[in-house]
Amino acid sequence: MAVWAQLAYSNDILHNINEFTLIKKYLSDIGTSYASHISTNVGDDCAVYSSSSQQLITTDVAVAGVHFPKSLPSEFIARRAVAAAFSDIAAMGGSITGFTLGLSLERVNADWLAGLRKGLKFIAKQYQVPLIGGDVVKGPTQLAITVIGRAAQRPILRSGAKTGDIICLSGKLGRSYLGFRAYQKDKQLNAITRGYLSPEAKVTYGQCCAKYVSSMMDVSDGILQDLSHLMGASKVGANVDFKSIPFASDKDIPKIIGFGDDYELLFTVSPNKIKPLRASLAKNNMGLWEIGVVDGKKIKIDNLPKKISSLGWDHFA
């Protein structure tokens, strides 16, 4: 890890700071009380941890101006970036054991870093997982989050859907879009903007599903696009009634689908397992929405509004 050189400073900056001082001050001791399985974490060349189960590893990158506005407070940049990465573990029905942060910054700003630390500590407490390492470099503002998790009895893949399975969603879509739109006006955290500023990774929900579902993924790129990904991975088709898809706002459905950024879970389950799955979810005060059935080789969507022109979010569109 190289020490930063020729770093641009803003007026409220910590002078004479280097990479190692930054890590110690802002990125150490985050979630360490949840790290009994970690013997070495932030501050050494690698984290060292023990495990006797299958490991899940995923990486998610959040880039300023693409995944979040450059003006977004750093606390919420952290919350959003880490929760999005955690959602991939949720989609496999796993538990999270730790995460790392690859941080690229244009300049060192004490207030910005303090906000980032606050957001990371919030996430660590919310999910009871530690930040166990990473790297810091100078460059365009972005966060690369790598998450390590443990599979349940088996990892839930996208490729397990079978003909006759019921297609389900964990919750209503559109809270992120509505939260983003509200944040543009309010510029503060509240019940509506929380859907965008502090999204929830459905980790407990995914764990409840692990024994019962045949395939699963999170909805981050829009329901229509992600439905095609799930069915494509399983090499099956689907019959879906668009009217059965739950949305947080019926007035904004086309924009919600194009916006994406929801982290609900999309999954398939055999009809003979739907009842015990509902019971498992009910123990945690959670439910599900049935939106269709796996059938054939093509995706057929009944009652699809003509005004929907986008399948969802595309990084390269």
Q: Is 310 within a domain?
A: no
Residue 17 has pLDDT above 90, yes or no: no
Distances (CA, A) of 76 to 28, 65, 111, 176: 19, 14, 13, 13
Residue 127 has pLDDT above 70, yes or no: yes
Same domain, 206 and 115: no
Q: Is 316 within a domain?
A: no
Parent domain of 213 = 158-302
Same domain, 137 and 163: no
Identify any residues that bridge with 131 across adjacent strands, giving them in sequence order.
99
Query: What is the pLDDT at residue 34?
Result: 66
**Domain end call among 116, 150, 184:** 150
Average pLDDT of span 20-42: 65
Number of domains within the chain: 2
Indicate the Cα dihedral angle 60, 51, 42, 89, nearest 10°: 20
Q: Is 260 within a domain?
A: yes
Find tokens 């080789």 and name the residue.
297
Average pLDDT, the chain: 86
The per-residue DSSP string of 74-94 comes to HHHHHHHHHHHHHHHHHTTT-
User: What confidence tier does 78 reach under pLDDT thresholds 50, 70, 90?
Assistant: very high
49, 132 contact by CB (below 8 A): yes
CA-based torsion, 33, 62, 48, 205: positive or negative: positive
Same domain, 172 and 130: no
User: What confidence tier does 38 reach under pLDDT thresholds 50, 70, 90?
Assistant: low
Same domain, 130 and 19: yes
Q: Is 317 within a domain?
A: no
CATH number of the domain to which 278 belongs: 3.90.650.10
User: What confidence tier does 33 reach under pLDDT thresholds 50, 70, 90?
Assistant: low
Same domain, 141 and 266: no
Same domain, 220 and 130: no
Residue 240 has pLDDT above 90, yes or no: yes
% residues pLDDT > 90 (the chain) = 70
Residue 316 has pLDDT above 70, yes or no: no
**Domain end call among 131, 150, 169:** 150
Measured in degrees and rounded to the nearest 5, phi and psi for residue 305 equal: -60, 140
User: What confidence tier does 266 reach under pLDDT thresholds 50, 70, 90?
Assistant: very high
Q: Is 313 within a domain?
A: no
Same domain, 140 and 173: no
Same domain, 135 and 180: no
The pairing of strands 48-49 and 55-63 is unpaired
Average pLDDT of span 100-127: 95
Same domain, 253 and 293: yes
Query: What is the pLDDT at residue 134?
Result: 86
> Can you tell me the distance from the alpha carbon of 163 to that of 183, in angstroms, rounded to the nearest whole number?
42
Q: Is 132 within a domain?
A: yes
Same domain, 67 and 183: no
Same domain, 241 and 265: yes
Average pLDDT of span 48-63: 82
Average pLDDT of span 297-313: 76
The pairing of strands 107-108 and 8-9 is parallel
**Domain end call among 130, 150, 170:** 150
Query: What is the pLDDT at residue 54?
Result: 83
47, 135 contact by CB (below 8 A): no
CATH number of the domain to which 92 belongs: 3.30.1330.10
What is this structure's pTM? 0.86
> Can you tell me the distance from the alpha carbon of 28 to that of 100, in angstroms, rounded to the nearest whole number?
11
Q: Is 312 within a domain?
A: no
Average pLDDT of span 122-132: 94
Q: Which of 281 and 32 is assigned the larger pLDDT?
A: 281
Using DSSP's 3-state secondary structure scheme, residue 146 falls into strand
Query: What is the pLDDT at residue 161?
Result: 97
> Can you tell me the distance from the alpha carbon of 186 to that of 179, in angstroms, rounded to the nearest whole number?
10
pLDDT digits (tens, 9 = 90+) for 208-236: 999 999 999 999 888 999 999 999 999 99
Same domain, 143 and 163: no
Q: Is 297 within a domain?
A: yes
